[in-house]
Amino acid sequence: MLNKYARAFFTRVLTPFASFLLRIGVSPDAVTLIGTAGVMAGALVFFPRGEFFWGTVVITLFVFSDLVDGNMARQAGISSRWGAFLDSTLDRVADGAIFSGFALWYAGTGDNNLMCAVALFCLASGQVVSYTKARGESIGLPVAVNGLIERAERLVISLVAAGFAGLHKFGVPGIQILLPIALWVVAVGSLITLVQRVVTVRRESAEADAAAAAEASAHGGEAV
């Protein structure tokens, strides 16, 4: 949902920066690796200590690498299957770090086993949502559904809420409630998206199997 519009906007904004990195000899793969390392540091260093504001600031600075590396590859004409694979794989690593950071907070100082479980569900469901699309496409299906909450929505909802929740340490009262609300929204939305994709793959696979059977039958009739 957000991918369609946000990517187009930020791609235009970040194009000059991507061009600058290419001019000084930085490779797209290096940007991908540095960006993922920065996101992991922001999530796993700050979030488990309850420093949600500063953790979100650090993550936000590095999360745009996901747009910059692709922009660089297109400008340089070096887009490759390896680059796409690396980018997609490290996206999963970064997402896992973010929700692991939330889970570690709630398992420790945050002292809330229920919210720890919700954060872990967000982590797992996000990975499975991504897997369903990749697996469906790998068997030749279009998986023509966006779903209610995809990666962009998961990140925006959880990080915006975490950033505002972090203002509690600056004296803003009651605002920390935003993070558990956001995690519940992401958890429920991810479950709905997973169901949407599974239903879509089931329908598309049935249609593909029926079309293949009809084609085989037609060929068999011609042979006779």
Cα separation, 117 vs 131, in Å, equals 21
Annotation says 91 is catalytic: yes
Q: 51: alpha, beta or left, given left = phi > 0 and alpha = psi -120 to 50?
A: beta
User: Which one of 91, 95, 111, 209 is the catalytic residue?
Assistant: 91
Tell me the residue length of the chain: 224
What is the rounded CA–CA span in Å between residue 17 and residue 21? Answer: 6
Quick one: how far is CA 221 from the chain centroid? 48
Whether the Cβ atoms of residue 158 and residue 183 lie closer than 8 Å to each other: yes
Q: Which residues contact 153 (CB under 8 A, 6 or more apart)?
A: 1, 2, 186, 189
Cβ–Cβ under 8 Å, residues 143 and 201: yes
219: left (phi over 0), alpha (psi -120 to 50) or beta: alpha
Query: How many C-beta atoms surround the C-beta of residue 173 within 10 A?
Result: 7
Q: Say if CB 153 and CB 1 are below 8 A apart.
A: yes
Provide the annotated active-site residues: 91
